[in-house]
Chains A and B, each alone.
Chain A
């Protein structure tokens, strides 16, 4: 009898513990509601560490707190594969923050935004979005996001002092580019800086070739989405992989262990001739080394035609509103505010842009890094820009970084890599329910 009493008592204790544990999260909700009464709405924002706490965003967030009474609490997540994993899991489990920063383009397509994000196509501020960017944050007719930062060039950075020292000119064709690399290599310099320690950087020579691909084969993206064209069998597309393969002999010795952060240091200190990278690296270099950033110039991936030189633009990640949050109104207010002229001014004042904003009628400020204000701007002026392929096409294979890392380090041939990537894209197409 006594035992039974003890048993009942113990069960009661455990049950109480369980209930207490579960109700823990409920309490915090209560606390948030209290804040609402004080006219400060708190929104949580999930962002990857690389984009978190940028001076520009902080400036806008501060302004939003003053003007709108909306306080944004930043939660950080890792980038890369882990980051994708976290975003997808939190979306699926209904645990997403009020605002989510995530890629635009085909990667957005892959997380099924219809289920999770607020459609802003009916909102007035959605009309402010640049048309091709709007395309990149849309799936079907629904529009989901506003740009988190300025767009970037996906191109080649070069060291101006090194170009002067060896009497080199900005190359107009891919062959000229390789010839420049040969000159640097023979002189014992690092011709191309490789930062394959962060696998995503290995994709840039391949993805950055989009301008050439899109001008040489304008219907590739469409045919590719329809399952008719393949990377391995379309010569213009295969060319992008071939270019990546061409770079193999020119990298620094420890390029497989060098990370993006190391790369910023090396580029700023003139230790390498070229770097295939996104122009946001300028911001990082400026933060670390100040005016040394102006020793760096940028040119687009050269094609095979000297008369047609353009640059590939990388659209910014976007802020998406959580459809299942209770604070819809505040979320929309914040998104509207985020792309207002006022907010963009604040953003620009705190951090110089690494490329054009994706907002209609908002001009790239003339005051920026030389590489942006002169080099990238000249491409914009002549209209020779194209968005990276993943903003036009629906399908991007998830294993792209690994395949490019493998090719760039000389383990496969361009043809093999293209075939692998085709297979990888096929998996994505299956998941998206496309009939290939």
Chain B
């Protein structure tokens, strides 16, 4: 690729300026402030004390654990659900367009609104979900109040909301698969399952990778839904990294919360880059 450059490097200036001012610079500044105790006016340098405090905090470990559970589960569930939804929605059904809209619809609502709504639906004594369960003779439960189910209740809500985007990405990927593959396969006598396994899955790999990366990183950074539904509670049962950091910030521990952000950034980078590399290496043309 040694073609002569058509465009001047100066074209990069606006983008680079924005990138530097709004991304690189704040990152360097936050690295600095994570080493201080500061209150917007003055700061005292404290070395790695903030990081020490963070790592000696038992709630940090449970929040990292919860974040991982959250990211992995939402990612896997979205992947499988979206894949089969997409297969269904690219098949020859009459209400295709309508159903596609229905699947995508939850994504149009603000996350906080979704959180508040589901919080009301999952209310142990007044919620619709428990009323329905009781109608069929079951015993309702305290979805968000029980420490063992709270996180999973939020995860299911996240999947409900996020599966639409994943489905749309899959649909786009599947539609770009050449129809002749399927024709050839059916001539060779492949049944639906075989052509799904041998054609659809490998050829929608790029779409699958996008879905995995997007929903995994989205899961790692999750905040709004947790905050709207449980506020990290009961106790620390659904605390994730972002909510821990936010709480430190709201409490006025700016240095500490900046350190938390740095930790979170490093963790996400450590997990996301190798994942992406691995997934891309598996892609076929």
Q: Which residues of A contact B (CB under 8 A)?
A: 81-82, 84-85, 88, 92, 110-112, 115, 196, 199, 253-257, 398-399, 402-403, 405-407, 409, 411-412, 420, 423, 427-428, 430-431, 433
Contacts and interface: CB of A to CB of B under 8 A. Distances in A.
Interface string B110-142: 000000000000011100000000000000001
A253 B234 contact: no
Contact of A254 (B39, B124, B251): B124
B125 A411 contact: no
A255 B125 CA distance: 10
A428 B251 contact: yes
A-B complex: 9 closest residue pairs judged by Cβ atoms: A406-B235, A256-B145, A398-B251, A254-B124, A92-B40, A85-B250, A81-B250, A254-B125, A411-B235
Contacts of A406: 233-237
Given A257-B124, A412-B235, A398 B147 contact: no
Contacts of B44: 433
Contact of B234 (A84, A92, A411): A411
Contacts of B182: none
A112 B41 contact: yes
Interface residues of B, number: 37
Contacts of A403: 235
A117 to B, nearest CB: 14
7 contacts: A81-B246, A196-B233, A255-B145, A256-B124, A256-B144, A256-B233, A428-B251
Contact of B58 (A110, A256, A405, A420): A420
A102 B50 CA distance: 28
Contact of B123 (A92, A254, A398, A405): A254
Nearest to A419: B58
B235 A402 contact: yes
Contacts of A84: 250-252
Nearest to A88: B252
Contacts of B234: 196, 256, 405-406, 409, 411
B175 interface: no
A185 to B, nearest CB: 18
B230 to A, nearest CB: 9
Contact of A399 (B37, B39, B49, B251): B251
Among A253, A423, A427, max chain B CB count under 10 A is at: A427
B96 interface: no
Contacts of A399: 247, 251
Nearest to B119: A257
A428 B250 CA distance: 12
A81 B247 contact: yes
Contact of A115 (B41, B147, B253): B41
B235 A431 contact: no
B57 interface: yes
A409 B235 contact: yes
A344 to B, nearest CB: 33
Nearest to A423: B57
A334 B232 CA distance: 40
Given A254-B142, A411-B237, A423-B56, 18 more contacts: A81-B250, A112-B39, A254-B123, A254-B145, A256-B144, A256-B145, A256-B233, A256-B234, A257-B142, A257-B144, A257-B145, A411-B234, A420-B59, A427-B251, A427-B256, A428-B251, A431-B39, A431-B256
B145 A411 contact: no
A256 B142 contact: yes
Contacts of B53: 427, 430
Nearest to B146: A256
Contacts of B253: 398, 427-428, 430-431
Contacts of A115: 41
A81 B237 CA distance: 18
A137 B236 CA distance: 32
Contact of A402 (B39, B57, B232): B232
Interface in B35-71: 37, 39-41, 44, 46, 49, 53, 56-59
A426 to B, nearest CB: 8
A58 B99 CA distance: 52
A406 B237 CA distance: 8
Given A84-B250, A110-B252, A398-B247, A199 B233 contact: yes
Contacts of A256: 124, 142, 144-146, 233-234
Contacts of A405: 233-235
Contacts of A111: 252
Contacts of B232: 402
